[in-house]
Structure 1
Amino acid sequence: MKEVKIYDSLIGNLNEDLKNVLIKIPLHIKGKVEEIRLKKEKPLMIYYEGKDYFVTKTGNLSKDMSKGIIVGENHIVSTFQLISNYSPYAYLEEIRNGYITITGGHRVGIGGKVVYGNKGIENIKNISSMNIRIAREKMGISDSLIPNLIKGKKDFFNTLIISPPQCGKTTLLRDIVRNLSNGTITSNYEGFKVSLIDERSELAGMYNGVAQKDVGLRTDILDGCLKSDGIIMAIRSLSPDIIAVDEIGGKRDVDAIHEALRAGIKLIATIHGSSIHEIREKLSMRDIFQEKIFERYIVLDRSKGVGTVRELLDGNGKSIPFIKGA
């Protein structure tokens, strides 16, 4: 029921006509919806379990696009007003990055006319589409992994989560951070001080200075901060045991990672990819692999649903057996 309540609460941010349609979709699907997609003059769509569906005016789901309710300009305009609390300029920094984070930590991606200025992107106008990604916590999904990621009571293996898009890497990272931060008696380790660099406000889902997601008792959050900047800031001022970042890849990220390692700080990060072999071929990651910075690799796929752990590997790429939990 919790997942259904999250869905019902979220659609309260949408245009009244759309909300009245989306509230009617089958109950057992509400808790599974991953995205709601609004595109001007196109059918209303939802995405769950790896497939798109068109939403009819009665709230039924169809693969026939002709049966989907058409999203009009008024639907887009009023929904944008609602998610920005009728004050888009208050969200301009996020809008420049292509999204708005709303209550609950949900992220609304925005499509439209990108306006450039002297300092780069200044705004997105004439909004034409919105992709609403529902942030769902899955507490406990990392429980079976944790014993393989820690060394004794106060040490941690540098860990990289490798995952294709929409396979649950952010959800898994969030739960690992929560577990590391809180500590557990059963796994016989104390909580770590974690600095979470949440560049796109997806991990903690900060809203008005409050984390909407549980990322642990000992976690400091740098929200909306570039990964490379956040890592350096954390080193200088937050005295973390572990730094957590989502979606590394650029040279600046790699340089900052080296700074953290020189400071004796452990790392957990994610990267887009389908295998350790694919990641090794990325130019920006070659030094990291040659230096064997990461001691654990978690490889995800969707073979048994979002967040399926396909492999757990050590720093040499050898498989580590573990009991697959929730």
Structure 2
Amino acid sequence: MSNQRLIQDFNEVIFKGMDLKIKNILSRLPLTFLLGIDEIRLRVNNPLMVCKMKEDFLINDHGEIVQSVKEAYIVKEKEIHNSLQLLSQYSLYSIEEELSKGFITLRGGHRVGITGKVVLEGGEVKTIKYVNGLNYRVMREVKGCSRTVAQIIQRDENDIYHTLIAGPPKSGKTTILRDLVRAFSMGNGRSGLKIGVVDERSEIAGCHRGIPQNDMGIRTDVLDCCPKGAGIINLIRSMSPQIIVTDEIGSKEDLIAIREALNAGIKMITTVHGASMEELLNRPYIAQMIQDKLFEKIIFLDNSNGIGTVSKVIEVNELFKKEELEHVS
């Protein structure tokens, strides 16, 4: 995403969903600093905070970075309320479904996470009221960041390996996934592949009113806000994808659906939280997928040298061969 596009998004999208006082404070930040922000945090009775490159910064009412909580601007309840009204265009009912998921997706793929009092109905989250926190997450496409990962998972011109991308939060998993979809869909000098994306949390395509705000390529179909298990089955039946992509797997339903995809001859690329094999194997359904060899490659990211940093690649077949040899010895 270009700086010009990001400046436009701040002015026309992100700031438009903020209380005027908060907007005016943030507008005073140096432009170069503003363009590097990943998150803007509003919490009732707490300092106005922005996050950049894993570091938090407190902001005072003059738009200056300060070190002390006493110097920082303290966000008021009415400013959270006003911001939520602006985000919903003064109709909270119209965003009730999004509130039940805990976030609102904005034009441009940016999103606002929401915390407060959860209202349950039939054991499911119906909505969130008495909102006490908003997290404005700035979306950035980083085109080309997946080149190393793409080379690792490309079997040949028209085929890839079943791949699980693992890493801790903020390691760039979703950013890499997004760029992989675009690259394989476009072809980039090779044959483009048909891709189906199940975007349960609207993070990959960043759909706004059903339309992807991120560049997903010309051969990509997106199911937005759809549970992964149901979405995978739907794509298999209706869209004849060569690759299905999802984010953050881990449930029994995911396991069943991924097996269905593999049985249909469809390749999978997906992600999971976990910084090591030990962490992955401590999660029952992820461990089952690995033990059943549903994935051929597991790629670990750590973001130590920026987005797309690969810390380890595990060949699943080799992993089990090694375990078998150790068991025999």
TM-score normalised to the size of structure 1? 0.92
Aligned residues: 315
Identify the match of residue 133 of structure 1 among 129, 132, 137: 137
- Taking the TM superposition and a 5 Å limit, the aligned residue runs for 1:255-266 are 255-266=256-267
Runs of 4+ off more than 6 Å: none
**Contact (CA 8 Å) 2:149, 2:308: kept in 1 or not?**
no
Of residues 60, 67, 76 in structure 1, which corresponds to 2:64?
Answer: 60
Task: Give deviations 1:229-257, integer Å, cap 9, x for gaps.
Answer: 10111111111100000000011111111
Distance (whole Å) between structure 1 residues aligned to residue 187 and residue 306 of structure 2: 27
2:268 aligned residue? 267
Contact 1:49 1:305 survives alignment (8 Å): no
Using the alignment, how far apart are the partners of 1:89 and 1:30 within structure 2? Answer: 32
Q: Using the alignment, how far apart are the partners of 2:85 and 2:17 within structure 1?
A: 9
Which residue matches 1:11?
Answer: 15
CA contact under 8 A between 2:196 and 2:243: conserved in structure 1? Answer: yes
Distance across 2 between alignment mates of 1:14 and 1:6: 13
Give CA-to-partner distance per residue, 1:196-215, whole Å, 9 cap, x none.
00001111111122211011
Pick closer, same or farther for the CA change 1:278–1:118 going to 2, 3 Å. Answer: closer
**TM-score, L = length of structure 2:** 0.91
Separation in 2, partners of 1:49, 1:147: 27
* Residue 90 (structure 1) aligned to one of 63, 69, 94: 94
Q: CA deviation at 1:152?
A: 2.0
Are the counterparts in 2 of residues 13 and 83 from structure 1 also a CA contact under 8 Å?
Answer: yes
| Cα distance between partner residues in 1 of 2:193 and 2:179 | 14
Structure 1 residue 4: Cα displacement: 4.2
Q: Report the secondary structure of 1:243's partner residue.
A: strand
Q: Aligned with 1:211: secondary structure?
A: coil
Of 295-304 and 305-314, the range deviating more from structure 2: 305-314
2:324 paired residue number: none
Structure 1 unmatched ranges of 5 or more: 319-326
Distance in 2 separating the partners of 1:91 and 1:106? 16
Q: Is the 8 A contact 2:37 2:52 kept in 1?
A: yes
Secondary structure of the equivalent of 2:148? coil
Root-mean-square deviation over aligned CA pairs: 1.6
- Deviation readout 1:20-72 (Å, 9 max, x if unpaired): 11111122221221111101111111111111111111111123111111111
CA distance in structure 2 between the aligned counterparts of 1:232 and 1:272, rounded to whole angstroms = 23
CA distance in 2, matches of 1:293, 1:68: 50
Deviation at 1:316, TM superposition (A): 4.1
